[in-house]
Amino acid sequence: GGGPMFVQDHHFVKFNAGKSAYAEERYSNETRRLYGVLEKRLQGRDYIAGAGRGEYSIADMATWPWVSRFDWQQIDLHGFPNVRDWYVRIAGRPAVQRGYQIPKFVSDVPLP
């Protein structure tokens, strides 16, 4: 799933760039593939799980933080419009905004 692969992408592409071209390529490709899976899942939907257009759920809460580092993954969310719209929708939630203002982590939510 996204979490394990995205963390490998962060490790090799963001924090150890240039150490292993094979690992960088492997995890970048897998990350892009998983963005494609999420893109397809979100087609015609607002959220990952639930009937109809979906309902905000633990699935979104667990996935969104990994996608929030799209910049570390060198992903252009404009290439994944359903993911981009979902991401921005969740980024605008008041609880997410408050979370980004916690001391020691004061930061703006990265936007595409």
Number of domains in the chain: 1
Q: 37 to each of 4, 26, 30, 80, how far by Cα in Å?
A: 15, 17, 11, 10
CATH of the domain at 37: 1.20.1050.10
pLDDT at 3: 75
8 Å CB contact between 27 and 16: no
Local confidence pLDDT in tens for the 112 residues of the chain: 677 777 787 777 777 778 888 888 888 888 899 999 999 999 999 999 999 999 999 999 999 999 998 888 888 999 999 999 999 999 999 999 888 887 666 566 777 7
Identify whether 111 is part of a domain: no
Q: Residue 86: which domain range? A: 2-99
Identify whether 109 is part of a domain: no
pLDDT at 111: 72
pLDDT at 108: 67
